[in-house]
Amino acid sequence: MPKFRQIFLLKCLCLLLCMAGCSPPEDPIKCASKNTNCTITNSYGAFPDRSRCRASAVAYPTTEEELISVVAKAAMDRTKMKAVTRFSHSIPKLVCTDGEDGLLISTKYLNRTLNIDPSAMTISIESGATLRQVIDEAAKAGLALPYAPYWWGLTIGGLLSSGAHGSSLWSKGSSVHEYVEQLRIITPAGRENGYVQVRTLDTSHEDLNAAKVSIGVLGVISQATLRLQPLFKRSIDYTTKNDSDLADQAATFGSRHEFADITWYPSQGKAVYRIDDRVPSNTSGNGLNDFTGFRSTSSLALALLRTTEENQELKGNADGKCTAAKLTTLALSRAAYGLTNNGIIFTGYPVIGYHNRLQASGTCLDSIEDARITACPWDPRVKGQFFHQTTFSIALSRVRSFIRDVQKLLEIEPKAMCGLELYNGILMRYVKASTAYLGKQEDALDFDITHYRSKDPMTPRLYEDILEEVEQMGLFKYGGLPHWAKNRNLAFDGAIKKYKNAWKFLKVKERYDPLGLFSSEWTDQVLGLKKGVTIFKKGCALEGLCICSEDSHCAPEKGYFCRPGKVYKDARVCTLSRDETYH
């Protein structure tokens, strides 16, 4: 057969395979041969240090019994292991085992709904079930998970382990782990116990405070029972205001509305307040949330936007970014952020509807087409979004001063934050103090900041210094707690010292997994058991692997030097200093 025909056929075959298999996000695990010799990454295709992690094998238990024997076998062999999920959404290297000999235990096929008890108002599901499944199944029984993250694709095991949340100061707050009634967790054991122990923890068991937010180091959660409520309706309204009184508003707005959050566009000087409360169930309306940012997006459009952004970065075109940011914000608000009043069109606020249709979304999870046509905006298979995500929660009592400080920075560099407005600004969500040992210590406001990341780790960003200063200010000056599943390495520097019950967590870990089979270098570092959360090397501060302490940690050859912050003088940030470029 002529060579070109072979290639043509190959292409057709590939296209067919892709049509059938590549539409939803890619599997983060790749194995050289069937389930052995594997690598894992996250859903963005990039950990903070951009490595892929290796493991000798991946197991796909389909029942709890299989899971138990997988853990037992690995414990007997003293193999390092980790629970991993279908999508692997966490940014830091939580899902990695050390070295190359570890075992990944996927919860992909542990996704059944086990029981819904309408009278007790609980749902029991396997840990690989997604948030979307829980919401859907509960709604079918006339029930609702009251508070949840905004993205459907998270698994129950993953979102509990990393302390994921939505936004609320009401009831027990917005973290899903506050509504856990029972967890079953499979932990390794010694020979006398057959190398494995199945632990059932309910709310009367003190260990639940460790297991409900565990960053995966205690064992594998096999199933969870969550407390639900009768399904209810909500009414959502967005009000845009200038941000001159945001510092005063932010601390109190959360107590006024059950599902309140705020999106802040700092360079535009605007804040969008989400006025969102329960309404009587006979209020008319069948609203739907299909958040624009979580929809299948044309790969062509994604590439175009990314190219534009790359060019603006290359040319230092701050004005271009500010113009683009305004357009993006306008388009989003015109599109009502993906809200419709009846599932089809948006006719105006308030949008009223059932909670299950409004609390989370993520239709890009089931994009029907080839990823080369549409994809989730951050899908690493296409040229699209590539970003850093800095997320920390600041105690409500300190939020006012933090916002003031950020505004002082903006007075010095008004255009500095247009870049993050391209990623829909700073999302501010309310979280409550938790009994979880690794949960929130006080009622707090969580700041979620998404911003440009270069494909080249040695290339500095526009206003590198300002964003680094905000990051260090939030985390160190104001003692912010980093989201376990987001952030760059520096955020976790000393973070564990901010948790007063961290020692209790470590005691449970010692009992559940004395050999540390579920621990890795990264989790040991994060838990303060090992040094080295931050990595010092050339250019390390650009990727947030370190806080710069000398110029080489920035990019002196490109004019970026390690300098103190402008408002927070203790910060050390990579600052563009044109005068020094040609020394």
Report the interface residues with ligand FAD, using CB under 6 A. 43, 82-85, 87-90, 94-95, 107, 127, 149-151, 154-155, 157-159, 161-162, 164-165, 215-216, 220-221, 485-486
Nearer to ligand NAG, 109 or 232 (CB): 109
# chain residues binding ligand NAG, by CB under 6 A: 12
Q: Does 32 bind ligand NAG (CB under 6 A)?
A: yes
Q: Phi and psi dihedrals of 320, rounded to 5?
A: -60, -45
Backbone angle region of 218, left / alpha / beta, with phi > 0 → left and psi within -120 to 50 → alpha:
alpha
Q: Does 235 bind ligand NAG (CB under 6 A)?
A: no
In angstroms, what CA-CA distances link 145 with 104, 229, 231?
29, 7, 8
Q: Which two structure tokens, joined as six digits, stand for 432?
A: 């409550």
Nearer to ligand NAG, 55 or 121 (CB): 55
Nearer to ligand NAG, 240 or 459 (CB): 240
Position of minimal CB gap to ligand FAD: 158
Q: Which residue's structure tokens are 């009251």?
A: 146
CB of 410 to ligand NAG, least distance (A): 12
CB of 352 to ligand FAD, least distance (A): 22
Question: Which among ligand NAG, ligand FAD, none contacts residue 536 (Cβ within 5 to 8 A by kind)?
Answer: none
Exposure letters 60-97 (e unless 16+ CB within 10 A, then b): bbeebeebbbbbbebbeeebbbbbbbbbbbbbbbbbbb
> How many other CB atoms sit within 10 Å of the CB of residue 260?
22
Question: Which among ligand FAD, ligand NAG, none contacts residue 242 (Cβ within 5 to 8 A by kind)?
Answer: ligand NAG
Nearer to ligand NAG, 202 or 248 (CB): 248
Instruction: Report how far residue 532's alpha carbon sits from residue 394's, in angstroms, rounded to the nearest whole number.
Output: 25
Q: Does 20 bind ligand NAG (CB under 6 A)?
A: no
- Identify the residue among 2, 5, 20, 280 touching ligand NAG (CB under 6 A): 280
Residue 297 · residue 338 · CB < 8 Å: no
Q: Does 244 bind ligand NAG (CB under 6 A)?
A: yes
CB of 39 to ligand NAG, least distance (A): 8
> How many other CB atoms sit within 10 Å of the CB of residue 117?
14
CB of 126 to ligand FAD, least distance (A): 8
Q: Taking each helix axis as running N to C, give the angle between helix 396-412 and helix 246-256, from 0 to 180 degrees, rounded to the nearest 10.
A: 150
Q: Which two structure tokens, joined as six digits, stand for 408?
A: 């002082």
CB of 45 to ligand FAD, least distance (A): 12
Question: Which among ligand NAG, ligand FAD, none contacts residue 108 (Cβ within 5 to 8 A by kind)?
Answer: ligand NAG
> How many other CB atoms sit within 10 Å of the CB of residue 3?
7
Question: Which among ligand NAG, ligand FAD, none contacts residue 162 (Cβ within 5 to 8 A by kind)?
Answer: ligand FAD
Segment lying near ligand NAG (by CB under 6 A), choices 107-115, 154-162, 362-370, 532-540: 107-115
Q: Does 223 bind ligand NAG (CB under 6 A)?
A: no
Residues in 66-95 that interact with ligand NAG by CB under 6 A: 86
Residue 481 · residue 393 · CB < 8 Å: yes
Nearer to ligand FAD, 522 or 560 (CB): 522
Question: Which among ligand NAG, ligand FAD, none contacts residue 20 (Cβ within 5 to 8 A by kind)?
Answer: none
Instruction: Report how far residue 231's alpha carbon sits from residue 145's, in angstroms, rounded to the nearest whole number.
Output: 8
Residues in 34-63 that interact with ligand NAG by CB under 6 A: 37
Instruction: Report how far residue 210's alpha carbon sits from residue 506's, in angstroms, rounded to the nearest whole number.
Output: 9
CB of 212 to ligand NAG, least distance (A): 23
Q: Which two structure tokens, joined as six digits, stand for 442?
A: 């006080």
Segment lying near ligand NAG (by CB under 6 A), choices 280-288, 413-421, 435-443, 469-477: 280-288
Instruction: Report how far residue 216's alpha carbon sits from residue 411's, in angstroms, rounded to the nearest whole number.
Output: 42
Q: Does 323 bind ligand NAG (CB under 6 A)?
A: no
Nearer to ligand NAG, 149 or 188 (CB): 149
CB of 245 to ligand NAG, least distance (A): 7
In angstroms, what CA-CA distances link 73 with 59, 79, 195?
11, 9, 7
Segment lying near ligand NAG (by CB under 6 A), choices 103-111, 299-307, 498-506, 560-568: 103-111
Residue 428 · residue 262 · CB < 8 Å: yes
Beta strands 36-40 and 29-33, pairing class: antiparallel
> How many other CB atoms sit within 10 Å of the CB of residue 161?
28
CB of 68 to ligand FAD, least distance (A): 13
Q: Dihedral through CA 14, CA 19, CA 20, CA 23, nearest 10? A: 120
CB of 285 to ligand FAD, least distance (A): 24
Nearer to ligand NAG, 18 or 502 (CB): 18
Question: Which among ligand NAG, ligand FAD, none contacts residue 244 (Cβ within 5 to 8 A by kind)?
Answer: ligand NAG
Bridge partners of 354?
233
Tell me 295's DSSP state. S
Backbone angle region of 471, left / alpha / beta, with phi > 0 → left and psi within -120 to 50 → alpha:
alpha
Sign, CA dihedral 63-68-69-74, equals positive
Provide the binding-site residues for ligand NAG, judged by CB under 6 A: 32, 37, 86, 108-109, 111, 133, 242, 244, 280, 282-283
